[in-house]
A = this chain, B = another copy of it.
Amino acid sequence: MAELVGNLLVAQSGGPTAVINASVAGVIVEAGKHPDAIEEIYGGLNGILGILNEELIDIQEELSTTIEGLKHTPAAALGTCRYKIDFKKKPDQAAKDMDRLFEVFEAHNIRYFFYAGGNDSQDTAHKLHEQAIARNYPLRVIGVPKTIDNDLPHTDHCPGYGSVIKYNATTVMEIAADVRSMATDSGSCCIVEVMGRSAGWIAAGTVLARRTPADAPHIILLPEIPFNQAAFLAKVQETIKELGYCIVVVGEGLKDAEGNEIAADKTRLDAFGHPVLSGAAERISEIISENSTTRTRTVKLGYAQRAAAHCASETDVEEAVACGHSAVKAAINGQSGYMVKIVRLADSPYRWTTGLQDIKDIANVEHLIPRDWISEDGFLPNEKFVKYASPLVDGELHLPMEGGLPKFVTLKKVVVEKKLPPRA
């Protein structure tokens, strides 16, 4: 392959995770090993949106301890966005954006571009790769997988997923101990809402808290399985009769048989006449209350789950860093238009490596839990899922602490001088 010398740009996109910064650290550290090809290392602020505004920072101005600290710092240190370059719905804007992105790349001699993100971000990376070829602009684009949702195809799993399920399963174990010890009290059913709008991977992951058949969670409501109210209520009562309490985990995107999210309760209107959007856990709680005397409590982990670096999986962090390394190595080897993927070599003891997947196979494809990984009644993932998920939560980080609280890093963000007029 022809040698390509120039600058590197790395950016983050979509919802953050506990380990997306670890992938960026991986990119930066590996990039530093190839000074013959990579001259400057830039970070793009707020994903593609910041790049459109020519908002680049000089990573080489950051301390190496800061880069190392990114490995345990949650959220997106470079900032993120949900901006989509959409040639179908907004062709004019998309064409304009693309022109502008290549203007920015050219102005700063960007020859290596790494984008860490989920479905939409891989789609953006794919388009940049195609446009670079069409424009005859030498650029190597590699996608770095990231999503707590674990819904990217072809990769065994996504960096970010192991940490979110480690935290959620730990939380379910702790909540279950609490509710069990209060079983003489009236609050005997606790509903824990976790993220996951279409795919139930996050909700399913809490099954790891079950070490014995009596352990929580007793019911996991997955967005993939249409909510069957009668069967659910019967299962709650059966569990309470047997154990004195019941822990339910619900994915926020749980849907009824018609495909409507159950959290959108059209029978209740707010002051403006709009349907009240309670959370899925609140709605499940109401359904139990309306149909039984069981008292309920809810927990909604929300952003806490995807930012929980204090309970991150060491395996997840290692894999996230490795994805960053592999992305740079692939680009240095002349490859472009790929996403790094995690390839599982063995379940137990768990062994893995990284690989590359054509990025066009990734964009806009959603990977759901296979039906045969879920129990027949649909209320729990089965042993196939457990075999898959168990290794991903292994190992603990020990965060540096200050005064009893985590010490995260922030980037200095030394801005690269702009060379272009502002975005039109």
Q: A interface vs B, CB < 8 Å? A: 12, 15-16, 18, 46, 49-50, 73-83, 166, 169-171, 173-175, 177-185, 190, 192, 208-209, 211, 267-268, 270-272, 276, 278-279, 282, 286, 290, 297-304, 306-311, 313, 315, 390, 393-396, 398, 401-406, 408
Given contacts A75-B181, A395-B404, contact A276 B268 (CB under 8 A): yes
Chain B contacts for A310, CB-based, 8 A: 170, 174, 311
Q: Which of B73, B170, B181, B390 contacts A177 (CB 8 A)?
A: B73
Give Cα distance in the complex from A302 to B78, angstroms. Answer: 31
Chain B contacts for A390, CB-based, 8 A: 403-404
Given contacts A170-B406, A310-B311, A311-B311, 18 further A-B contacts (CB under 8 A): A74-B174, A74-B177, A75-B182, A81-B182, A82-B185, A179-B303, A192-B304, A208-B403, A208-B404, A209-B405, A278-B282, A282-B282, A297-B303, A299-B302, A299-B303, A315-B404, A396-B398, A398-B398
Chain B contacts for A404, CB-based, 8 A: 166, 208, 313, 315, 390, 393-396
A309 touches B393 (CB 8 A): no
Q: Which of B174, B298, B307 contacts A174 (CB 8 A)?
A: B307
Give Cα distance in the complex from A267 to B273, angstroms. Answer: 12
A395: nearest residue on chain B (CB-CB)?
B404
B304 touches A76 (CB 8 A): no
B394 touches A170 (CB 8 A): no
A75 touches B405 (CB 8 A): no
Give Cα distance in the complex from A333 to B297, angstroms. Answer: 43
What is the CB-to-nearest-CB distance from A113 to chain B, in angstroms, rounded to a whole number? Answer: 19
Give Cα distance in the complex from A310 to B167, angstroms. Answer: 10
Interface centre among A278, A297, A299, A303 (most CB of B within 10 A): A303
A408 touches B177 (CB 8 A): yes
Q: Can you list 17 residue pairs at the A/B interface with Cβ under 8 Å? A: A46-B184, A74-B174, A74-B178, A75-B174, A75-B177, A75-B182, A76-B181, A81-B182, A173-B408, A174-B307, A174-B308, A178-B307, A208-B403, A299-B300, A299-B303, A315-B404, A396-B398
Given contacts A282-B282, A299-B301, A398-B398, contact A16 B74 (CB under 8 A): no
B306 touches A178 (CB 8 A): yes
Chain B contacts for A183, CB-based, 8 A: 79
What is the CB-to-nearest-CB distance from A173 to chain B, in angstroms, rounded to a whole number? Answer: 6
Give Cα distance in the complex from A83 to B306, angstroms. Answer: 38
Q: Which of B304, B311, B402 contacts A299 (CB 8 A)?
A: B304
What is the CB-to-nearest-CB distance from A233 to chain B, in angstroms, rounded to a whole number? Answer: 16
A393 touches B398 (CB 8 A): no
What is the CB-to-nearest-CB distance from A124 to chain B, in angstroms, rounded to a whole number? Answer: 15
B182 touches A405 (CB 8 A): no
Give Cα distance in the complex from A179 to B306, angstroms. Answer: 11
Give Cα distance in the complex from A282 to B169, angstroms. Answer: 25
A-B pairs, 5 with minimum CB distance: A393-B404, A75-B177, A299-B302, A174-B307, A76-B181
A299: nearest residue on chain B (CB-CB)?
B302
A392: nearest residue on chain B (CB-CB)?
B404
B177 touches A15 (CB 8 A): no
A302 touches B297 (CB 8 A): yes
Chain B contacts for A406, CB-based, 8 A: 170, 173-174
Give Cα distance in the complex from A207 to B175, angstroms. Answer: 24
Give Cα distance in the complex from A393 to B402, angstroms. Answer: 10
Chain B contacts for A177, CB-based, 8 A: 16, 73-75, 307, 408
A80 touches B181 (CB 8 A): yes
A186: nearest residue on chain B (CB-CB)?
B82
Chain B contacts for A174, CB-based, 8 A: 18, 74-75, 304, 307-310, 406
A281: nearest residue on chain B (CB-CB)?
B300
Given contacts A403-B390, A403-B393, A405-B169, contact A184 B49 (CB under 8 A): yes
Interface centre among A46, A76, A185, A276 (most CB of B within 10 A): A185
